[in-house]
Every structure is written in structure tokens, then in C-alpha cells.
Amino acid sequence: MKSKPANTVNILGLTYTVERVPYILRDEYRIGQLDPEKQEIKILDSLSEELAAQTLLHEVIHGILKQLKFFDEDNDEKLVQGLALGMYDCLKDEPSVIFNLTHKRRKSMNKKQTSPQVASKASKILSNDHAGKNTKSVAGSALSQTRASGKSKK
Ligand SMILES: [Zn+2]
């Protein structure tokens, strides 16, 4: 049994582990960090759920910018934080509205909503018989829509 619950988020075809940790760096106060090599996001444990959610979005945006090689933008903390807070504000009250809209739109658009690169990566995983069930389900959700949380445990 794992000592800490681990969640994952998909960032443009990469699966990142999200973990709440008691501290991130010993010598520096940080509330979140994304490690692109380990595909890991750490969020400070002591943050409120609201701040933790904003911080997770902040780190996810870093991940997206890195993956797209927007390195100048990735170093622009004001831009990253602005996008994170904007997304948080937009999603916090009724995230299902956005997903419902994309769901309806997807039906009429014949499943063409993900970027071609991500879709092709995900499709390769889905068509690979050696890929595990979890990998396939991750790829499947990359093909449809990324959800940071809220998976039903039922
Ligand atoms: Zn940052």
C-alpha cells in the first residue's frame, strides 16, 4: 500500500504524477514544482485546497509551455500565474460546463478536438497491444479531454 495517494495529470501526451509533499526545496520556499524529466509535479502539503488547485494549474501551464518549447514564456512567471489564475477562475465554479460543451461539440466534430501530435501519440499507445490497461486509459483520456481531478471512485 502506498504511503501517499498519487494522482496523475496528462500534459500534451505525457503523464505527470502529482504529489502533495511537506516541503519542496530545503533552502528555498516553494509551493509547487514541475520536474519535466521525472514527469512529476509536487505541491506543498500545507496549501489550502484552493491554493493547491491554483498551484497545480500553474505547474501544468509550465509543463504545456515546456512541451511546446515556449521557453521564454515558460520563464515568464507573471504570464504563467496569470494564465493559471484565469483558468482557475473560469473552471472553479462549474468545470462541467466546459466539459459538457466540448462533449457536445466533439460529437458534431467527429472526435477532432485534440492536437494532431497528441492524438497520434495517444493513438499509438491505444493500438499497442503491449501497453497496459492504465496506459491505455491515460491515452484514451488524452484523446478526449484532460481532467486534473474528480475521478469517481465508484
Ligand atoms: Zn512558476
Residue 117 CA to ligand 1 center (angstroms) comes to 25
Residue 118 CA to ligand 1 center (angstroms) comes to 24
Q: Which of 43, 61, 64 minimizes the C-alpha distance to 53?
A: 43
Residue 143 CA to ligand 1 center (angstroms) comes to 27
11: DSSP letter? E
pLDDT at 64 over 70: yes
Instruction: State the average pLDDT for the chain.
Output: 81
pLDDT digits (tens, 9 = 90+) for 77-107: 999 999 999 999 999 988 888 778 766 666 6
Residue 8 CA to ligand 1 center (angstroms) comes to 19
pLDDT class of 140 with cuts at 50, 70, 90: low
Yes or no: say if 58 and 84 are a contact pair by the CB < 8 Å rule. yes
The pLDDT of residue 4 is: 52
C-alpha span between 50 and 56 (Å, rounded): 10
Collapsing DSSP to helix, strand or coil, 18 comes out as strand
Enter the C-alpha cell of residue 72. Answer: 521564454
Residue 70 CA to ligand 1 center (angstroms) comes to 14
Yes or no: say if 132 and 15 are a contact pair by the CB < 8 Å rule. no
Q: Where are the domains of the chain?
A: 7-144
CB count, 10 Å around CB of 64? 17
Within the chain, residue ranges assigned H as helices are 49-67, 71-74, 77-92, 95-109, 116-127, 133-144
Residue 66 CA to ligand 1 center (angstroms) comes to 12
This model's pTM is above 0.75: no
